Structure 1
Amino acid sequence: MMALRRDGEMDLQDMQDIAKARVLVFSDGRTGAQNRSLGVAEMLGIKDPEIVTMKPKYSSKLLRMLPVSWLYEDYGRIARDVRNYDVLITSGYQISRVVRALKKADPRLFTVALMRPAGSAKDFDVVAVEQHDRYPAADNVVVTLGAPNRITREKLQLEADRWRKRLSHVRGSKVAVLVGGTSKRARFEVEDARNLIRELSKLFKENGAGLLVTTSRRTGKDVTEALESTLKSSGLEYFMWSPDEGGRDNPYLAYLALADAVVVTADSVSMVSEAASAGKPVYLWGDEKAQPRKLRDYYTALMKQGRVRWWNGKFTLRPPAAGLMDTMMVAGFVRAKWQKRCAG
């Protein structure tokens, strides 16, 4: 874990700079969770961190509690490969079981778990959780309001410049519409998609605003098609992107950079956090009562800061003075713990 100079002596400065460590990101394949890990890694100064994606062989919750060496086909190989790394970062309960097991087998590893992990905080070097998770306090736990993410001013400016011409047909004010999908406790179906676009189109026809629409992997083909067909018949200027389009360039960051406001389906903490991190007024679309308590708690906390409100047919929020800085907060905490460990 400790960097050496050519003469074999330990270079203290390199040792304490986590940006020079060998970092591996563990992902379960979910975009929102993976972006949490990548956002923290990038904020630490780690360029193009390596990613290993692991999915359990079984979907049953009961079977998922099997030892990770049985549950993941590549576990043995990965357990050998991590000897070449210093820092492991992951997001999500199930995949954190892998990192916890690797840490137990090799205490030399410095491990960072984002979101509520398996086990307890003492199983990791750093645990970063959101306020609404109500996670027990500990010396190695950092609590944020929203989810860490990859949003930075530099990325937003770069993507705005790259996409400005391609989105120039959407004139006037622009509203980004970020669509998630059906969750365990709330549904977003075809008629919901149609109602969303119809309501926005009625409002925007009067002032000439346009829509920048994106779906997610959870949206579903039927809902995506309903969104697009309703947009085509709305008479609005718009641009729509979907993950189903394969290699087509993704304008998501450009949307967040160029939009005057953002409407987000209320099922996604990740998308709400990203929009709030971009410093945009955020409007939540959905049934407030249908959301789980922890999501309602999160949105209430953002409302108290004047960052979000439930959609009521009016754009009344002012842009906040600055976006959320949760990623920077987590990265600073991780860096401090790393330096303390190296110094010890």
Structure 2
Amino acid sequence: MGTTPKVIWAVADTRRGVENQAIGLAEAIARHLGDAVTARVTIRDDGYVTLPEHDTPDIWIGCGRPALKLARRHRKIFPGARFVYVQDPRNHYDRFDLIVAPGHDRVRKANAISMIGSPHRVTPDRLAKAEAAFAKHLAALPAPRATVLIGGPNKRFKVTPDVSANLEARIGDLLDAGYSLMLSVSRRTPKALTGALKARFGDDKRVWLFDGTGENPYFAFLAAADLICVTEDSTNMLVEAAATGKPLYSLPLDGDPGKFSRLYGALEAHGALRPLLGPVESWTYTPLDATAQAAREVVLRLGLEPQGAAA
């Protein structure tokens, strides 16, 4: 690859959670190498691929099913690139030089790297910048502060009326315990639940409720929190929250977590995660550094030489 900066492509479709995994690993590798540039390759819903200005990648990192298909074609176009896939490529293991897979997927292949959860973009620097950018809004919320991140139904979990009522009650308990709230819903959150939360908490001056309108304060919410609560369906957000070192509580939904129970167990074993069953507590643990660890392993396995400080 010579002495010029290495080019890392992050290849994914338009889903935010998928995109963040590819970009998160690309950025972590770039930080580790110290002399690299990252570029986003977007696979649109219509199949059109938006290529970056850096037209030849040294490292190609993909995530999501559309990236699986594109990898086959790009391996022929860019024979000198090293190909990495995030998640389980399911029967396409030989398409990639390396696979970075969640430990709960139990991918047992010679070219697989296992990590707790999936790569993400949470770093101390990004958190600090986000907190500074939203400092005026955050200052209106007296400490202590709790961040509550609410996902929604998926293949494994449902948000029933009983679940919604329980979530609303637990959020109210945090307010009663003296916490200001930074509350965020997602695109998957049922409209009825979002409406109920707005009706109950929307006018409270100790609550900042983000419903997707305007600039997203997600990183600022993580940075400014004294504790974080995340619904158990949101595995990416659970791992991202664990990267902060803040006390992390899971909020139950209705369903069977299946393989994700192994992820919850890993987060609990790390000291990060507890179920929210009663009064909240405060505790400390080492921030989960799984993305940086995976990046270092990728660099090692690919035989690349870091030119700057490790991530």
Shorter-chain-normalised TM-score: which range?
0.7 to 0.9
**Structure 2 residues not aligned, in runs of 5+:** 306-311
Aligned residue among 92, 99, 112 for 1:127: 99
Query: Which of these residues, 145, 157, 165, is aligned with residue 136 of structure 2?
Result: 165
Are 1:152 and 2:123 matched, yes or no?
yes
Tell me which structure has the larger Cα radius of gyration.
Answer: 1
1:237 aligned residue: 206
CA deviation after TM superposition for structure 1 residue 194, in Å: 4.6
| Corresponding residue to 1:217 among 183, 187, 195 | 187
Helix, strand or coil: the match of 1:263? strand
How far apart are the structure 2 equivalents of 1:208 and 1:223?
Answer: 23
Residue 261 in 1 paired to residue 227 in 2? yes
Runs (4+) off by over 4 Å:
none
Aligned residue number for residue 300 of structure 1: 265
Whole-angstrom distance in 1 between the partners of 2:126 and 2:239: 16
| Equivalent residue pairs, number | 301
Q: Is the 8 A contact 1:35 1:150 kept in 2?
A: yes
Please state whether the residue corresponding to 2:85 is helix, strand or coil: strand
Is the CA contact (8 Å cut-off) linking 2:39 and 2:54 kept in structure 1? Answer: no
1:9-46, Cα deviation, whole Å (9 max, x unpaired): xx4xx4xxxxx222222112121121111111112227
Higher relative contact order (CA 8 A, sep 6+): 2
TM-score by length of 1: 0.79
Which residue of the partner structure matches residue 38 of structure 2? 49
**What TM-score, normalized to structure 2?**
0.86
For 2:59, give the aligned amino acid: V
Retained in 2: the 8 A contact 1:94–1:118?
Answer: no
Residues 278-325 of structure 1: CA deviation (Å, up to 9, x unaligned): 11111111147x2331111110121122211121022135121x2111
8 Å CA contact 2:163–2:253 kept in 1: the answer is no
> What corresponds to 1:28 in structure 2?
13
- Residues 1:335 and 2:299 are matched in the alignment: yes
> Which structure has more helix as a fraction of its residues?
1
- Conservation of the 8 A alpha-carbon contact between 2:158 and 2:253: no
Identity of aligned residues (%): 28
Matched residues in 2 for 1:316 and 1:216: separation?
26
The match for 1:183 is: 154
Letter in 2 for 1:330: A
Worse-matched range after superposition: 332-341 or 20-29? 332-341
Tell whether the 8 Å contact from 2:186 to 2:211 is kept in structure 1 after alignment: yes
The amino acid that maps onto 1:39 is: G
2:59 match: 87
Q: What does the per-residue CA deviation read over 1:212-255, in whole Å, with 9 as the maximum and x for residues that have no partner?
A: 0112222244432222222136x561101122x1xx22211111
Q: Which residue of 2 is the match for residue 283 of structure 1?
A: 249
| 42 and 340 in structure 1: CA distance in 2 versus 1, 3 angstrom threshold | closer
Counterpart selection for 2:198 from 228, 231, 240 = 228
Q: Provide the rounded CA distance (Å) in 2 between the counterparts of 1:167 and 1:191.
A: 31
Shift of residue 82, structure 1, vs aligned partner: 8.8
**Letter of the 2:125 counterpart:** E
